[in-house]
Amino acid sequence: MNETPAIHLSGLRKTFGALTAVDGVDLSIRPGEVVALLGPNGAGKSTTIDLALGLARPTAGGVELFGAPPRDAVAAGRVGAMLQGGALLPTLTVAESVALVAAAHRHPLSVAEALDRARCTEIARQRVSKLSGGQLQRARFAVAVVSDPDLLFLDEPTAAMDVEARRTFWQSMRAFTAAGRTVVFATHYLDEADEYADRIVMMARGRIVADGTPAEVKAVVSGRRIRATAAFPETPASTAALAALPGVRSADRHGDVLTLISDDSDATLRALIPTHDDIHDIEVTAHTMDEAFLALTEARDTEGALS
């Protein structure tokens, strides 16, 4: 395929004195992808977004949005952004804030449509200074989409939102991405990345440590978790016998709850069940995004400490 990437980062590097915030990032994102940037604080997510938008100058490497420099794509109204440092004028209403930004673009959405997309219609007349944290985030989203962009960057978009507000926000995002637009969002909520992203790019110490679908990223943590309720007594011998079952990498028990981590859950269960009719409520689950996140970022931290 010769489709021009929506985002192309090549050898991207950014230093601040002795601190390296982004360290040789190569990344290409196709039009229509919804990509989550994950990583601990200081991983380089926000700096990468700033570089991609042309808000910061790279120390080395290059950035292209739709095959052109970032400023060209931004000037053409093809890019929207909702950044952590983005501020709205406190004396304006939400509708006035959206209208102000719309006036700077050639072919914006109507103010009413932008408000509707961001679920802001009911707060349109409220002044920015009177908004709650979650309402302010929704207002910033309305400002970000009023240019009707092909590419949208979101930096911690659901920060300060409660559970219901987060759900509402992602409902509006589904409508936005349904038309094939490209979205890149940085988040600390691993469940958001797992549920809403087509692709996850995980960063640690300024580098990409994983890049794939949510299922592929979670697969880096091998094995499955077997959890069951055990009625037999807990003894050193019983614990040793469980640890010796086929495929088992670890065996743990807290009260009646038994947890086995196995590289071959089928073989483990075939050996376990015939010898223990006093085990019930068996659950077999894949590892979570949290576990993949910890495994990948801790591996990078260890690597950085050893290098």
pLDDT one-digit tens code per residue, 14-43:
999 999 999 999 999 999 999 999 988 888
Sign of CA dihedral 171, 199, 307, 59: negative
- Work out the percent of the chain whose per-residue pLDDT is above 90: 54
CATH number of 224-286: 3.30.70
Q: Any bridge partners for residue 212, and if so which?
A: 200
Question: Which of the four pLDDT bands, split at 50, 70 and 90, describes residue 188?
Answer: confident
pLDDT of residue 42: 87
Most confident of 160-174, 199-213, 274-288: 199-213
CATH number of 7-218: 3.40.50.300
Separation CA 225–CA 286 (nearest Å) = 6
pLDDT of residue 28: 97
User: Between β-strands 257-262 and 224-230, what pairing exists: parallel, antiparallel or unpaired?
Assistant: antiparallel
pLDDT at 239 over 80: yes
Query: Where are the alpha helices (H) located in 2-157, listed in sequence order?
Result: 45-52, 70-75, 94-102, 111-117, 133-145
pLDDT at 261 over 90: no
Rounded average pLDDT over 226-240? 87
Q: What is the pTM of this model?
A: 0.76
Rounded average pLDDT over 159-176? 84
What's the mean per-residue pLDDT of the chain?
88
Question: Which of the four pLDDT bands, split at 50, 70 and 90, describes residue 56?
Answer: very high
pLDDT of residue 39: 86
Rounded average pLDDT over 294-306? 56
Give the domain ranges of the chain.
Answer: 7-218, 224-286
